[in-house]
């Protein structure tokens, strides 16, 4: 079992650009959550997808959007990037009470 995988590992963008991050959940998991982790902070919940629908959302603007595919994999899209969007983006999959996190994608906005 490969666990939760994310791509790319690192990404550099400039202000105003758009970015798409990808996540493949752990085998058998149908729920995917996305988190943003700024340097020195704990992860902040962005949103969660289940059965291809956004089920919960944290306090993030509409520039952050997502998608879940029939195979449960997921994408996080961020439009009109700001310098403050620079962070580690974590994907987590779950089936019951335990969430399994991927290694994250490090996004740098210049």
Residues 42, 31: Cα–Cα separation, whole Å: 21
Per-residue mark of binding to other proteins, 65-94 (x: CB under 8 A): -------------------------x-x-x
When asked if residue 36 is in the footprint of other proteins (CB under 8 A), the reply is: no
Residues of span 14-33 touching other proteins by CB under 8 A: 31, 33
Q: At its nearest, how many Å lie between other proteins and the CB of residue 16?
A: 28
Q: At its nearest, how many Å lie between other proteins and the CB of residue 45?
A: 6
Beta bridge partners of 19: 78
The number of residues in the chain equals 110
Residue of 45, 60, 65, 73 that binds other proteins (CB under 8 A): 45
Query: What is the phi/psi pair of residue 8, to 5°?
Result: -75, 180
Of 23, 21, 30, 19, the residue nearest 6 (C-alpha): 23
Residues 107, 57: Cα–Cα separation, whole Å: 21
Task: Catalog residues that contact other proteins under the rule CB under 8 A.
Answer: 4, 31, 33, 35, 40-45, 48, 55-56, 58, 90, 92, 94, 97-104
């Amino acid at each position: 079992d490969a666990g939760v995988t994310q791509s790319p590992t690192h990404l550099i963008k400039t202000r105003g650009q758009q970015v798409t991050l990808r996540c493949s959940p752990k085998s058998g998991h149908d729920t995917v959550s996305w988190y943003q982790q700024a340097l020195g902070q704990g992860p902040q919940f962005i949103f969660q997808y289940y059965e291809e629908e956004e089920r919960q959302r944290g306090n993030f603007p509409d520039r952050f959007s997502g998608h879940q595919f029939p195979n449960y994999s997921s994408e996080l899209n961020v439009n009109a990037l700001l310098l403050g969007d620079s962070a580690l983006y974590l994907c987590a999959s779950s089936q019951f009470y335990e969430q399994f996190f991927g290694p994250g994608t490090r996004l740098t906005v210049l």
